[in-house]
Amino acid sequence: MFVNTMPRYEILSEDAMAVLDRGWRRIATEIGIEFLLDEAVEAFRAAGQQVVDGNRVILDPEFVLEQVAKAPREFDLQARNPEHSIHLGGQHMAFGAVYGCPFVRQGETRREATMDDFENLVRLSQAFPELDSPGGTICEPNDKPLDSRHLDMVYALQTLSDKPYMGSVTSGPNAEDTIAMGEILFGGREAIEATPASLSLINVNSPLRFDDRMLSALVAYAKANQATIVTPFLLMGAMSPVSIPATLAQQMAEALAGIALVQLIRPGCPVVFGSFLSNTDMQSGSPSFGTPESAIGLLCTGQIARSFGLPWRSGGGLNSSQTVDAQAAYESLMTMLPTFLAGANFVMHSAGWLEAGLVSCYEKFIVDIELLRMLKHEFTPLEIDEASLAFGAHEEVGPGGHFLGAAHTLERFRECFYRPLLTSTENFERWKSKGGLDTTARAEVIWKRTLEEYEQPPLDEAIRSELQEYVDRRRTELGD
C-alpha cells in the first residue's frame, strides 16, 4: 500500500490550533452532544458525565481526551488475502471506492443502481491495485429488498474481492450480520477480534447528534473490536455554521465524542477520526464539492487529527458535476491533491464519485484511478544523488543535441516516467484517426475491458457456501 513520506502541508499556526481547541471544548461543555440511544447515554452517565434533557451529554473535555487516548494510534485491518491487508495510521494511505450512491451513470445513461452494478463496481475495485478496498455501499442495490440487501452487499464484497471491506451501518442487527459473516470468512470471532476484519462508517447526524441506527451499529462493532470511522457530516451552511473554524471546532467535538464512546464500550478498539466537510452552495442551496473551502478544511483536519494521535479519514474524488466533464475532473483533483498533501490515512470515495455523491459512475471510476496513479507517483520522494545528475548524458549529447537516442535514455525509457492509463498524448491527427475519443469515451473502453478481464479471487468452497447459507437463512428470517 502507499506510504506517503513527502512533507505534510500544514497551514494552522499554534495560535489557530489553540483557538480551535477552545472551540470544541466550549461546545462539549456548554451545549453537549445528543446520543439517541439509551445504551450510549448510560455509558457516558456511568463514566461520570452529566446528562440533560434525557439524551444530551455534557462532556468534560479532559474525560473525552482520556478516552480518546485509549484508541490505537495505528492499526491493521485484515483482508482475506493477507497481501491486501492494510495498515491505518502514520504515513500510510489507503483508498476505497465511492460509497452510498443511489444512482449509477454509464456513459449517457443515468439510472437507479442495481445489484449488478454493485457487483461490477466491486470487481473494478478488486481489479485496480490503486484501490486498497472496494469500500462498502459502492452503490445502492435498489433491486434487492431493503431489509436484507446488506447481506447481499457484504456477500459480494467478501466473495468478489479479497480486499478489506466496510460493513453495514444501517442498524445494530445489520452490523451484527456483517460481524457474523466476518467470523465465517476469517475463521471465527477470535480471529476478527485479534485484528479487525471490517471498517465501518459511522456518520454523525450533525450538528451535535448521533442517531440510534448509527449508534447501534457503532456499539455492535465496538463490542466485536471492529474498526469504525466516526465522521461528522458537515456541509457548512446546513449542518454547521458558514465558517471553517466553527465547523472544525464542531467536527472535533463530534468526532472526539463518538471516539470516546467507542473507547467506553471497548477500550483500545480501533477507531478513525472521520471528516466529511464541504459547503453548501448558498446560491443553489445544493451541496458543493471540490471547493476551496473543502480543501482548506481537509488540510486543517489532518493537522488536527494528528494532534490527537488518531488515524484519520478524509478526501476523495468529490465533485458536484452532473457528467464526467472538466468540472468533474477539476473538482475531484481539487480535493484529491490536498488529500495527499495532508496525508489522509483512509480515503473513501476515491473512485467513481459523481454528482455530489448521488451517482456511482463507471467512467469516473477510471478517471479517478488515473488520478490516484498520478498522485502516488508524484508523492514518491525524488532520489537526488550524484548518479541522478546523469552528467554522462550531458557529455554525450552536448549543446544543441537531442537526448532521445542517448545511452542514458535508452537504458531507462521504459520506466523513467509515469506511464498513463487513460491520459492521451497523441497528436491531433493520430488521435482523430483513432476515433477522436475524449477522456470519458476512453474511460468506457477501459472499464469494459477491465470487467472482461476480471478474475474472481479464489475462496474455499466450504467458506463460500457457509456464507451463502448464512445469507439465505437471515434473508428468510427478515421476511425477504
CA-to-CA distance for 228 and 222, rounded, in angstroms? 8
When asked if residue 455 is in the footprint of its own copies (CB under 8 A), the reply is no
Which of residues 228, 320, 339, 350 is near its own copies by CB under 8 A?
320
In the complex, least distance from residue 8 CB atom to its own copies, rounded to whole angstroms: 10
In the chain, what is the straight-line distance between the N-terminal and C-terminal CA atoms, in Å? Answer: 39
Nearer to its own copies, 215 or 406 (CB): 406
Which of residues 330, 465, 476, 477 is near its own copies by CB under 8 A?
330
Q: Which of residues 140-199 bind its own copies (CB under 8 A)?
A: none
Nearer to its own copies, 194 or 416 (CB): 416
Radius of gyration of the chain (CA): 23
Which of residues 207, 270, 316, 343 is near its own copies by CB under 8 A?
207
From the list 301-309, 389-397, 448-456, 457-465, the region that binds its own copies by CB under 8 A is 389-397
Which of residues 73, 189, 223, 408 is near its own copies by CB under 8 A?
408
Nearer to its own copies, 187 or 401 (CB): 401
Nearer to its own copies, 198 or 314 (CB): 314
From the list 76-84, 153-161, 345-353, 409-417, the region that binds its own copies by CB under 8 A is 409-417
CA-to-CA distance for 340 and 453, rounded, in angstroms? 30
Half-sphere exposure of 21 (CA within 13 A, CB side): 14
When asked if residue 243 is in the footprint of its own copies (CB under 8 A), the reply is yes
From the list 65-73, 165-173, 370-378, 467-475, the region that binds its own copies by CB under 8 A is 370-378
In the complex, least distance from residue 278 CB atom to its own copies, rounded to whole angstroms: 10
Nearer to its own copies, 384 or 462 (CB): 384
In the complex, least distance from residue 112 CB atom to its own copies, rounded to whole angstroms: 13
CA-to-CA distance for 55 and 40, rounded, in angstroms? 9
In the complex, least distance from residue 293 CB atom to its own copies, rounded to whole angstroms: 6
In the complex, least distance from residue 162 CB atom to its own copies, rounded to whole angstroms: 29
CA nearest 103: which of 443, 362, 371, 368? 362
CA-to-CA distance for 4 and 17, rounded, in angstroms? 24
Q: Which of residues 22-61 bind its own copies (CB under 8 A)?
A: 22-23, 26-27, 30-34, 56
DSSP string, 189-201: HHHHHHS--BEEE
Nearer to its own copies, 38 or 418 (CB): 418
In the complex, least distance from residue 395 CB atom to its own copies, rounded to whole angstroms: 7
The residue assigned the cell 480471529 is 191
Which of residues 14, 54, 190, 427 is near its own copies by CB under 8 A?
427
428-437 burial: b if 16+ Cβ within 10 Å, else e: eeeeeeeeee
75's enclosing H/E stretch is: strand 75-77
Three-class SS of residue 7? coil
C-alpha cell at 288: 458543493
The residue assigned the cell 481547541 is 21
Q: How many CB atoms lie within 10 A of CB 377?
A: 11
Nearer to its own copies, 6 or 47 (CB): 6
Cα 52 to Cα 63, 207, 229: the distances in Å are 17, 17, 26
In the complex, least distance from residue 342 CB atom to its own copies, rounded to whole angstroms: 12
Q: Which of residues 109-148 bind its own copies (CB under 8 A)?
A: 110
C-alpha cell at 123: 470487481
Binding mask 428-447 for its own copies (x = CB under 8 A): x--xx---x-xxx--x----
Which of residues 180, 393, 421, 445 is near its own copies by CB under 8 A?
393
Let me know: does 95 contact 353? Beta carbons within 8 Å.
no
CA-to-CA distance for 369 and 378, rounded, in angstroms? 14
> How many chain residues touch its own copies (CB under 8 A)?
127
Let me know: does 99 contact 177? Beta carbons within 8 Å.
no
Which of residues 341, 347, 361, 471 is near its own copies by CB under 8 A?
341
CA nearest 100: which of 309, 405, 356? 356
What ranges make up the beta strands (E) of 190-275?
199-204, 209-210, 227-236, 271-274
CA nearest 168: which of 159, 182, 158, 178? 178
Quick one: 186 exposed, middle or buried, by C-beta within 10 A (0-12, 13-18, 19+)?
A: buried
Length of the chain, please?
Answer: 480
When asked if residue 374 is in the footprint of its own copies (CB under 8 A), the reply is yes
Nearer to its own copies, 237 or 311 (CB): 237
CA-to-CA distance for 198 and 201, rounded, in angstroms? 10
From the list 154-162, 168-176, 368-376, 471-479, the region that binds its own copies by CB under 8 A is 368-376
Which of residues 38, 66, 116, 426 is near its own copies by CB under 8 A?
426
Which of residues 228, 275, 332, 350 is near its own copies by CB under 8 A?
332
Q: Which of residues 5-24 bind its own copies (CB under 8 A)?
A: 6-7, 9-12, 15-16, 19-20, 22-23
Q: Which of residues 245-304 bind its own copies (CB under 8 A)?
A: 245-246, 249-250, 279-288, 291-293, 295-296, 300
